Structure 1
Amino acid sequence: MREFKDIASFARFIEDRVLPAVPRAVHRGVEDGAIRIRKATQAQLGQYLDGPESGLPTAPLADSTINERVRLGFTPDDPGLRTGDMRDSYGERVSGAGTKVTAYIGSDDIKAVVFEVGRLEAGNYQPPRPELAVAAARNEDKAANGVARVLVRTLSGRPLPNIPDDEDVTP
């Protein structure tokens, strides 16, 4: 534990070392949380989801979809997972360092968007499979705790860790 001989040396420590590091720490914590949620989303694809989150349990694949998957040489019953292209299209973007940092997690692949929210068209119905929403809900506390951890490190004058904490990703 760090000790200070007087209040002035403590104030200098806060001003010189801690306050300049806070924006970077917030960015790092939010970025690590976004990575956690993206990885959880990717890990869920190909599985049926069940749980208390909105939109669950996910619907089974239609017989016509299973037949098409088999005809095309894919496994019969892995929702959202054929070649892996959709899974690999997920990414994250994080705004710059600051005390207010925003993260965006998702995919620019239209198939991923339709997979998430579903489609209601005559003859082309697809039920929603809220992979990203579920991953975010299941990892919200861990992401928030990760931000808190890096802030505590910074406030105590310790450097940020070199590697993001990606243990215990909850798919």
Structure 2
Amino acid sequence: MPTVPRAVQKGVEDGAIRIRKATQAQLGQYLDGPEPGLPTAPLADSTINERIRLGFTPDDPGVRTGDMRESYGERVSGPGMKVAASIGSDDIKAVVFEVGRLEQGNYQPPRPELAVAAARNEDKVAHGVARVLVRTLCGRPLPNIPDDENTTP
């Protein structure tokens, strides 16, 4: 049977993956909703013209080659009763995309993809962690974990 600290880690890891995938799926779309920073602003005409000139689709915010979308990842701390997860990208374009840029002559409005994905999945992540803990407390194996990790030494 897996340990409770390992179950907490697995639940948090699954939640981080859910948020990363939701963030990646949102890129290329305009977001609308009650979350802060929404609705997202339309692309500027100059941006649309540049995208067309460079051979990209005209109106898919945050998606050109797909490199930025693929740059998102997650990191999760080790097993414990407190497990930390970070989701994001090391690509500076993704950071600017998320928080915007206020430079004179180079304004880019914020497009809070990651923040919105996290807010929209908060309940699902919490329920996922709870489900994994209940499985462990009931003596059932963790989902998608090799059998040798599901047994105590």
TM-score by length of 2: 0.93
Q: Deviations over 1:56-113 (max 9, x none)?
A: 0000000000000000000000000000000000000000011110000000000000
The structure where strand makes up a greater share of residues is: 2
Matches of 1:63 and 1:143, distance apart in 2? 38
Matches of 1:144 and 1:32, distance apart in 2? 10
Q: What is aligned with 1:125?
A: 107
Letter of the structure 1 residue corresponding to residue 41 of structure 2: A
Shift of 1:152: 0.4
- State percent identity of aligned pairs: 89
| Match 2:39 to one of 57, 61, 72 | 57
Shift of 1:162: 1.5
Aligned residue for 1:125, secondary structure, equals strand
Shift of 1:157: 1.0
**2:123 aligned with 1:141, yes or no?**
yes
Q: What is aligned with 1:156?
A: 138
Count of aligned pairs = 145
Letter of the structure 2 residue corresponding to residue 137 of structure 1: A
Matches of 1:67 and 1:161, distance apart in 2? 47
Shift of 1:41: 0.1
Over the aligned positions, Cα root-mean-square deviation in angstroms equals 0.9
Name which one, 1 or 2, has greater alpha-carbon Rg. Answer: 1
| Match 2:18 to one of 13, 19, 36 | 36
Q: Deviations over 1:29-57 (max 9, x none)?
A: 00000000000000000000000000000
Letter of the structure 2 residue corresponding to residue 53 of structure 1: E
Deviates more, 1:20-29 or 1:115-124: 20-29
Unaligned runs of 5+ in 1: 1-16, 164-171
Q: What is aligned with 1:5?
A: none
**2:90 aligned with 1:108, yes or no?**
yes
Q: What is aligned with 1:25?
A: 7
Q: Deviations over 1:2-30 (max 9, x none)?
A: xxxxxxxxxxxxxxx5xx61010000000
Matches of 1:138 and 1:129, distance apart in 2? 15
The 4+ residue runs of structure 1 with deviation greater than 3 A are none
**2:79 aligned with 1:97, yes or no?**
yes
TM-score by length of 1: 0.83
